[in-house]
Amino acid sequence: MIIIQTKFKIYQIELKFIIFLIILLKLKFLLKLRLLYIILISFFVITLGRNYTYSQESWWKDKKYKTEEKQKKFENCKHVFISIGDGLMYGNVTYISPFFQNEIYLGLQNSEKGYYNREQSGYIIENFFSTYPVSSFKWKNSSRSERFAFALGKYKYKKGGFISTFTISVSLKYINDLWMIDQVIVN
């Protein structure tokens, strides 16, 4: 997955989807229009049918804002949380690390609690993933204001043949037109 963060939007593009579109564009002259639509619709049904799709999320309450700028600001916030959620779901810190600010407060289970720089935070979270291998992750609720956003989720992990659960809270701070991770707490 490619993650691109710009001033107003975060784009999450799956490489498979890009390749699929390129192939379709090359085949478009060879296929009849109906067949092209059937293939395209089938691809979207298969893609959207996966377990980790975030359609109609109950954890994020969409609001209407007076300006388009504010609307984009909070859409970006949602996309940051989705990317962080993907990182937690797959146990992959590379989905999360683009949103690290210079100093992050980490309070992880069985780990020192405190402020860490970007690199240290990445290593600590990687260690957490290896100590508590993820079984599943899902956001449960969220809230947001002009400068801060917060989301709470359930992290299920496998350890010793049993599945246990942590509650993970992630706080974001709006800095220089970007949503950045302020703190991560695991209980």
Binned at pLDDT 50, 70 and 90, residue 182 comes out as very high
Whether 55 is in a domain gets the answer: no
Residues 88 and 154 in one domain: yes
- Say whether pLDDT at 52 is over 50: no
Which one of 12-21, 89-98, 111-120 scores highest in mean pLDDT? 89-98
> Does residue 89 sit within a domain?
yes
CATH of residue 115: 3.10.450.50
Q: What is the mean pLDDT of residues 10-37?
A: 62
Find where tokens 């994020």 sit.
60
- Can you tell me the mean pLDDT for 104-115? 89
Question: Is it the case that residue 165 has pLDDT exceeding 70?
Answer: yes
Does the pLDDT at position 51 exceed 50?
no
pLDDT at 29: 57
Same domain? 93 vs 41: no
Same domain for 34 and 75: no
Question: pLDDT exceeding 70 applies to what percent of the chain?
Answer: 71
Q: Sheet holding 100-107: strands in order across?
A: 113-117, 100-107, 178-186, 162-175, 148-159, 134-144
pLDDT at 55: 43
The torsion of the CA quartet 54, 121, 128, 133, rounded to 10 degrees, works out to 40
CA atoms within 13 A on the CB side of 31: 14
Q: How many domains does the chain have?
A: 2
Q: What is the tens place of the pLDDT at every residue in 142-163?
A: 999 999 999 999 999 998 889 9
User: How far apart are the C-alpha atoms of 125 and 122, rounded to whole Å?
Assistant: 5
**Cα 72 off chain centre by:** 17
Does any domain span residue 100?
yes
CA dist., res. 158 & res. 38, Å (int): 40
Cα 51 to Cα 90: distance, rounded to the nearest angstrom: 12
Q: Is the pLDDT of residue 30 over 60?
A: no
- Selected residue with higher pLDDT from 86 and 22: 86
- pTM for this predicted structure: 0.70
The per-residue pLDDT for 54 is 45
Residue 39 covered by a domain: yes
Domain annotation covers residue 58: no
Can you give the residue range of the structural domain that contains 157? 68-186
